[in-house]
Amino acid sequence: MNNDDISIKQKYEKYINTYSVKKMEDVVISHAEGALVYDMRGQEYLDCFAGIAVNNAGHRNPKIIQAAKEQMDKLVHCCAYVYYSEPPALLSEKLAYYTPGQLDKTFFSNSGAEAIEGSLRIAKQFTERYEFIALQCSFHGRTNATLSITGNRKRKQEGGPYLSGISFVPPPYCYRCPFELEKESCNLKCARYLREVIDFQTSGSVAAFIAEPILGEGGIIVPPQNYFQEIKKILEEFQILFIADEVQTGFGRTGKLFAIEHYEVVPDIIAMAKGIAGGFPLSAFITRDEIARSFKPGDHLSTFGGNPVSCAAAIANIDFLLEENIPEKALAKGENFILKLKNELMKKYDLIGEVRGKGLMIGIELVKDKEKTPAAEEAAKIREICRENRLLIGVGGVYGNVLRIQPPLVITEEQLERALNILDKAFSLIDKC
Ligand SMILES: Cc1ncc(COP(=O)(O)O)c(C=O)c1O
């Protein structure tokens, strides 16, 4: 550890409120490129977490950086909701084109939570209803409303009181099926259960159902193929809107530009953030014009939302992802990596209960025994060993026992092979403990 590292950490401790952070990763990052990050001494780390699934086009993607620099030389801020400027106009046109269905009116904000807040608000105003249904194991942000619809006690503790009128549906978590059924014969009970929730837990005045197409913080939970079609059928029957929270799944991460496309369902609203602008802060929610119109003058605004530099970066990001076929490549790389994890690691280490994911959104769930007792301490230890061996990964899951592999999508096959070898080494060391 050099003096720069120590003084940075000391300043963090003294001046940044990190009391809510469980544990800072013990690395001081100086710079980054592609799928690699470097610490203050120039030591290289392979990044398989991408700043929590953000740098999809790679760290400091040259096209994104160039677009942002050119924009910075022209205009940094004017407020997209007071004055017209080109970047938000061009970006909203692109989003209308590339999102499914008739989603064509975007509202820009800054963070994932803000995009979800806006989605909830517009759903309420359009339907003139006030209740929401969300999934157990979900995560939608850290503001009061987004925590209210988050289905995880650990995220919500000490944050209440929360909004009323929120109901939760059991999650499509096949590895730990809430109904203890088998995937092959369950007949999608978890999706059909939505009807029970509407009938017995709500007043019937439900504005929207919100779900992540793949649950990220909950543990990379991939719903079965027909899940969202079954859900959508029930929602249509009760004229309830469907909000897809694509904050973590969007922009190629799962092998499609938006993960809901895997399920061939068109949501009424899509919220997006994280991977939208190559690391520049930006978020948005997009909906049909008939829904968008329920905002009336003065209802909603954001000072920084639609920032010209972030929007210019987002345009370059989307162009790069599509011109280079990054989503398809991510799908292929992810399938390959999952296969290797299953064939090479899962067979060797009983600690691995399940490997799952889509594209480069991959979870490795760790369990202590055949009863699937969550192995959270082991997950934390493996993350630590990986970092000591210069591989950055995430840990999540409602039980804190899921390793998260969510690298920049430009990661190469060779780099993934390196990640596999380091993971192998980490598991073998844990095995010996
Ligand atoms: C699915 C999902 N929704 C919303 C959020 C909140 O995003 P932000 O941290 O940008 O507010 C997150 C963050 O992890 C997320 O994963």
Q: Which ligand 1 atom is the nearest neighbour of the CA of 216?
A: 16
CA dist 89 and 70 (Å) reads 17
Joined together, the tokens standing for residue 22 give 């469980």
CATH 3.40.640.10 in the chain: give the residue spans.
Answer: 75-323
Which pLDDT score, from 0 to 100, does residue 398 have? Answer: 98
| Mean local confidence (pLDDT), 98-107 | 97
CA of 110 from ligand 1 middle (Å) equals 11
Strand 391-392 relative to strand 44-47: parallel, antiparallel, unpaired? parallel
Taking residue 10's Cβ as centre, other Cβ atoms within 10 Å add up to 10
* 2 pLDDT above the threshold of 90: no
How many angstroms does the Cα of residue 190 sit away from the middle of ligand 1? 24
Average pLDDT over residues 40-65: 98
Q: Check residue 321 and give left, alpha or beta (phi > 0: left; psi -120 to 50: alpha).
A: alpha
pLDDT digits (tens, 9 = 90+) for 233-255: 999 999 999 999 999 999 999 99
Q: Is 113 in the pocket of ligand 1 (CB under 6 A)?
A: yes
The mean predicted confidence, pLDDT, of the chain is 97
Report the percent of the chain where pLDDT is more than 70: 100
Counting atoms of ligand 1 from 1, which one is nearest the CA of 246? Answer: 1
**Residue spans in the chain of domains classed CATH 3.90.1150.10:** 3-60+325-432
Average pLDDT for 91-111: 98
pLDDT band with cut points at 50, 70 and 90 for residue 297: very high
* 398-418 pLDDT, tens digit each: 999 999 999 999 999 999 999
Radius of gyration of the chain (CA): 21
| Closest residue by CA, ligand 1 atom 8 | 112
Pairing verdict, β 283-287 and 105-109 = antiparallel
More confident residue, 432 or 172: 172
Residue identified by tokens 């096959």 is 413
Q: What pLDDT does residue 1 have?
A: 62
Distance, CA 115 to ligand 1 centroid (Å)? 9
Instruction: Give the position, in ligand 1's atom list, of the atom nearest the Cα of 212.
Output: 1
| C-alpha 146 to ligand 1 mean position (Å) | 9
- Asked: is 3-60+325-432 a CATH 3.90.1150.10 domain? The reply is yes
| Confidence label for 190 from pLDDT (cuts 50, 70 and 90) | very high
Ligand 1, atom 4: closest residue by C-alpha: 140
Out of 147, 274, 283, give the residue to mutate to test ligand 1, the one with the largest number of ligand atoms within 8 Å of its CB.
274
- Are 211 and 259 in contact by the 8 Å Cβ rule? The answer is no
0.95 exceeded by pTM: yes
Distance 349 CA to ligand 1 centre (A): 32
Per DSSP, the three-state class of 229 is helix
Residue % of the chain over a pLDDT of 90: 97
For the structural domain made of 75-323, what CATH number should be given? Answer: 3.40.640.10
pLDDT at 433: 66
**Do you find a cis peptide bond into 161, omega within 30 degrees of 0?**
yes
Evaluate if residue 431 carries a pLDDT over 80.
Answer: no
